[in-house]
Amino acid sequence: MYGFEALTFNIHGGYLEAIVRGHRGGLLTAVDYNNLCQCETLDDIKMHLSATEYGPYLQNEPSPLRTTTIVEKCTQKLVDEYKHMLTQATEPLSTFLEYITYGHMIDNIVLIVTGTLHERDVHELLEKCHPLGMFESIATLAVAQNMRELYRLVLVDTPLAPYFSECITSEDLDEMNIEIMRNTLYKAYLEDFYKFCKKLGGATSEIMCDLLSFEADRRAVNISINSIGTELTRDDRRKLFSNFGLLYPYGHEELALCEDFDQVRGVMEKYPTYNLIFAKLSYGESQMLDKAFYEEEVKRLCLAFEQQFHYAVFFAYVRLREQEIRNLMWISECVAQNQKSRIHDGIVYIF
């Protein structure tokens, strides 16, 4: 019921919304980043982080730190918070929260399948998986030889099963296939999530659909850019785009035809929102595109907190925390490898 969420939202969602807003208050600010950027060693970073909400997670780490430990512990905090919220949540918020993790599940599946293709140790691969995207039988993925087996053996039990309907083939798995599988899955996932949010209605659908559209458009652009110069046909490329978003459907047709980055840029500049992003980049420069997109995303995610009584804050919080962890990883890497001059290139300031 649009406009009436305020009346009933707090019955089930009030506590968790308060929790998530509290967590958001713990996100690092520009001042924190400035201080972190001045760190000389990883121990300095630890010392600074111990004054933030990450403190309890890092305090028991013995001193020669590694970047991976920092990232791992910071992720652990996010996972703990997420699990706490998930256990407290009722329907439909719990389903919504689960939807947030499906993206990580897809990434994890792809990671393990690719890893086994290259005959890497499964346990080593499992450690690299994002803990939010873990599911019970994830390790069994290594058994599968092709898409059909993958589906039949493992994925049929996971929430991702319906998304597989479009990509079941008996072909053996190879790099290209996996990448196509990832994108098909993502497409199905985003569409499903989009539909689910539409069904929820109210401010949730309004904000979430906007955020998801942005996500879908970003993926479409990335797919277009990455598939330039590969064997992927135009029709196949077109099939990987999610069927919603600002670019749908005309932008998709045009993107499918693009042959180089400047053509993509030409297509995107027709859309005022994306025009601003591309305006920041000079011609022919595609490396900075990711950061530009991240910055735009963070801006939109922060705006989600401006409204009350909707679920998008949970999505936004998890995404912002992930961005923060990416920032921390970048800073730690720069500090560890003595590349302090590049430290500002990778940080997406959240506040």
Cα–Cα dist 215/238, whole Å: 16
- Classify the phi-psi angles of 284: left when phi > 0, otherwise alpha if psi is within -120 to 50, otherwise beta: left
Q: How many residues bind another protein (CB under 8 A)?
A: 28
Q: Does 66 bind another protein (CB under 8 A)?
A: no
Written in H, E and C, the secondary structure of 272-330 is HHHHHHHHCCCCCCCCCHHHHHHHHHHHHHHHHCCCCCCCHHHHHHHHHHHHHHHHHHH
Residue number with CB closer to another protein (35 or 177) = 35
Nearer to another protein, 64 or 284 (CB): 64
Among 39-47, 218-226, 241-249, 286-294, the segment contacting another protein (CB under 8 A): 39-47
Residue with tokens 């997670």: 57
Sole binder of another protein in the list 28, 109, 142, 147 (CB under 8 A): 142
**Token pair 């600010």 is at which residue?**
29
- The smaller minimum CB distance to another protein, of residues 122 and 178, is found at 122
Q: What is the DSSP string of 113-124?
A: HHHHHTT--HHH
Least CB distance to another protein at residue 170 (A): 15
236 contacts: CB under 8 Å, gap ≥ 6? 180
Residue 199 is a binding residue for another protein (CB under 8 A): no
Q: Pick one of 6, 7, 47, 279: the residue that binds another protein (CB under 8 A).
A: 47
38 binds another protein (CB under 8 A): yes
Told to check if 70 binds another protein by CB under 8 A, we report no
Shortest reach from residue 333's CB to another protein, in Å? 19
Select 44 or 107, whichever has its Cβ closest to another protein.
44
The answer to whether residue 243 forms part of the interface with another protein (CB under 8 A) is: no
43 binds another protein (CB under 8 A): yes
Q: Does 60 bind another protein (CB under 8 A)?
A: yes
Report the greatest alpha carbon distance in the chain: 56
Is 62 a binding residue for another protein by CB under 8 A? The answer is: yes
- Sites for another protein among residues 149-168 (CB under 8 A): 152-154, 156-157
When asked if residue 137 is in the footprint of another protein (CB under 8 A), the reply is yes
* CB 258 within 8 Å of CB 228: yes
Contacting another protein within 109-128 (CB under 8 A): 122
Binding site for another protein (CB under 8 A): 35, 38-40, 43-44, 47-48, 50-51, 59-63, 122, 136-137, 139-143, 152-154, 156-157
